[in-house]
Amino acid sequence: MGPLAGIKIIELAGIGPGPFCGMMLSDMGAEVIRIDRPAPGASAPKDVLVRNRRSLAVDLKSEAGRETVLRLCESADAIFEGFRPGVTERLGLGPEDCMARNPKLVYGRMTGWGQEGPMAQAAGHDINYIGLSGALHAIGRAGERPVPPLNLVGDFGGGGMLLAYGLVCGLLEAQRSGQGQVIDAAMVDGAAALMGMFFSFAAQGGFTDQRGTNLLDGAAHFYDTYETADGKYVCLGSIEPQFYALLIEKAELDPETFKPQMDRRAWPELKAKLAEVMKTKTRDEWCAIMEGTDVCFAPVLSIFEAPEHPHNKARNSFITVDGISQPAPAPRFSRTAPAVRGGAPAPGADTTSVLADFGFSEAEITSLLQSGAVAGNG
């Protein structure tokens, strides 16, 4: 059932961080109703982020469509959207509109720049938001330009995950106060929050503004990736002295040469020497020597290889839904286990059943379908 079973959440369909937030909540058992745009004849998308949902297709620009969503809000616990600031207000579905129908409703808003501030109305993407947060500047090799870490930091870690966390916090508070509130989840804020430890390091004098020169950014020879003899890669994280000593033993390194572990001046030379050693064996050969030990070692796997690794298979870390390999719900719960109940629905696949479950009469549903305010079947 999942720990959020019984919670009803409305998702105004968007892209990226919004669907990821919806996936996290629905994986945990919440009933997330996705409000899609009408798309007659559209098939179910191959989209992992939209799994575990029911879809209701609504024309939000029509009066009847707007009223339909407001009626859903009357019995929902939360709603979230990912439009630019002011868009839902112009649609008549802003926080005041929705919370007037249900004062306990928690209203989540996902944007890049936030609901206010000089940049609030500007277009942007993950790379821009993490650029402003200080995160992007810190990622990359010494003397080279910053490297985008996919869109993991802004869209997902600092975006969708932040919104899901904010919504659950808001829901917990509403249970005590009986009042809803607006959650302003901005990716620039979330990405900045993810950098908290590095602000601590900087305050302690342990982090410089020059990327590729710090403990955790690939400068240290004992915390980096290395190419192997077969052109594949492994990663090392032997930070603690006892783990570093085991690395020296397992890789058959000269203890005297590699003794100055924390001498940053020695890192470039030691990295070059270690790189030569790591290229003498294949990835699988290094796995046989180091994997599962306290070296803090792992092979660097692609998304096509990861599901087949014995550890991931033993934990069922990846599952297949509708023929699509994908990550299993996380985290895990001992009593209320999360589960994937189905893949992504086609837009409007559940229109009639959702409306019926929310108290719409058969005549009302027929009228909405005939007017075009809603579309689909199910």
The CATH fold assigned to 8-194+318-375 is: Rossmann fold (3.40.50)
* Confidence at 328, pLDDT banded by 50, 70, 90: very high
pTM for the whole structure: 0.95
286-324: burial string, b at 16+ Cβ within 10 Å, e else: bbeebbeeebbbbbeeeeeebbebeebeeeeebeebeee
Please tell me the predicted confidence (pLDDT) of residue 369: 96
pLDDT of residue 254: 97
Indicate the fold that domain 223-227+233-299 takes in CATH: formyl-coa transferase, domain 3 (3.30.1540)
Pairing of strands 318-321, 324-327: antiparallel
Quick one: pLDDT band at residue 42, thresholds 50, 70, 90? confident
Residues of the chain with CATH 3.30.1540.10: 223-227+233-299
Residue 245 has pLDDT above 80, yes or no: yes
Active-site amino acid positions: 125, 155
Give CATH 3.40.50.10540 domain extents, the chain: 8-194+318-375
216/74 Cα distance (integer angstroms): 48
**89-135, pLDDT tens digit by residue?**
999 999 999 999 999 999 999 999 999 999 999 999 999 999 999 99
- pLDDT one-digit tens code per residue, 130-163: 999 999 999 999 999 999 999 999 999 999 999 9
